Structure 1
Amino acid sequence: MKSDRLLSILLLLQTRGRVPARELAERLEVSVRTVYRDVESLSAAGVPVYAERGRHGGIELLAGFRTDVTGLTADESRALFVLAAQGAHAALGLDAAFGSALRKVMAALPAPHRPAAETASRRILVDATRWRGGPQPAVDLEVLRDAVFADRRLRLRYRHSGERQVRTYTVDPYGLVAKAGVWYLVADRRAEPRLFRADRVRSARLLDEPVRRRPGVELADAWEGLRR
């Protein structure tokens, strides 16, 4: 966690220039004392960083020091930050990781493209929920997400629409799909493609067995067939 925090400080300083220690502390959810200790660690590692105390002080890198990754066009930069508006990462428990990734990308962008990327994130909003859809039931995607990323089979207790009975299935997941504000698990059951609405999953358990997908079939292929 400390190494991630040090990298976040470095990238924030590259992006913002001088930043007050209190602002860094609030962004990283640590104390101001911890920020100053982290600055000392960065300095000891050879990073040219210094702190100025006082009303107009702050923490800053020496001019010209940065990690520069070039090659992104202005439109590519915009595209990355439009992605930030979609919000699916929050439902998957990846909100903090996504925010950290965006800071790294922003710091790595060529300086002329940063204003375009920042503007895109403020001017484009993607809301995937339908009008008059009513409140959506809470959905716990943690186990489904873990199975998808770990390539493991799942044991589901599932209630179909219009039924009171809860059924049990062993499935082989391809992945998760968010469609119009609703999450679905795309999986095979006995080598046949099935679609499970996440808010109807009553419980889910990872099995020790590796997933058994049909050869050559990817999530997009399975979803397209089910969607049709």
Structure 2
Amino acid sequence: MNENTHHTAEAALVTGGGRGIGAAVAVRLAEAGFDVALTYERDEQAAAEVVSLIEKHGRRGLALRADASDADAVTGAVDRAAAEFGRLDVLVNNAAVFPVGPHDGHTVEEIDRVLAVNVRAPFLASRAAARHMDGDGRIVTVGSNVATRVPFGGLTLYTLSKSALAGMTRGLARDLGPRGITVAQVDPGPTDTDTNPADGPNADGIRSLVPLGRFARPAEIAETVAHLVGPGGRFITGAVLPVDGGINA
């Protein structure tokens, strides 16, 4: 890859890249030499700030507004990123909603939206991205430690949605492996973001479950994603990797 010529740079799309883990991944991939597109739902200013950080690393950044519950918006964002950059080498499925509450308190509409954002959107985005990938493509999906073990109540709908991703990852690894496309998943544990802050009301209880005794920093999750999409990740496919401080040990 020629670092000085934009049009030869590898290109990545990070869904939900305007904040939290997604923003950290977008910036880390720019640091690794990728042009990076990101989707966001509402906060245009936050997305613009991430694009600015991408550009500080000498890469092209692109913010695309897309509601992950809208099937056409999901595939449209993938296609637009590929068109803008002239290629698409990496997809990171990160956009998600985090419903918390008793299992019998969710409306049918809320259930449908959570499954649309957390399950259908990664599937559609992966399918769309694979069409643009020509060997050595990488798809990484951000799951959650609660897909494996549920540490407390009120997470049934979220756990249901995140559990589906491991099956998608394994299935796509089989489907896309013959084309040289790897498909892997990262399952973060408690991570210090605005949806689950390390100083939040339940943080001490969560922290007590983590052998390392702290929340992850978003940049630590991003490091594992960067490994999976870099040279070291070429033979990792169908894998679900916990990056959880040992909470599921």
Higher helix share: 2
Larger Rg: 1
Query: Comparing both chains, which one has the higher relative contact order based on Cα–Cα distances under 8 Å and sequence gaps of 6 or more?
Result: 2
- Structure number with the higher strand fraction is 1
Structure 1 length normalisation: TM-score? 0.28
| TM-score (norm. length: structure 2) | 0.26
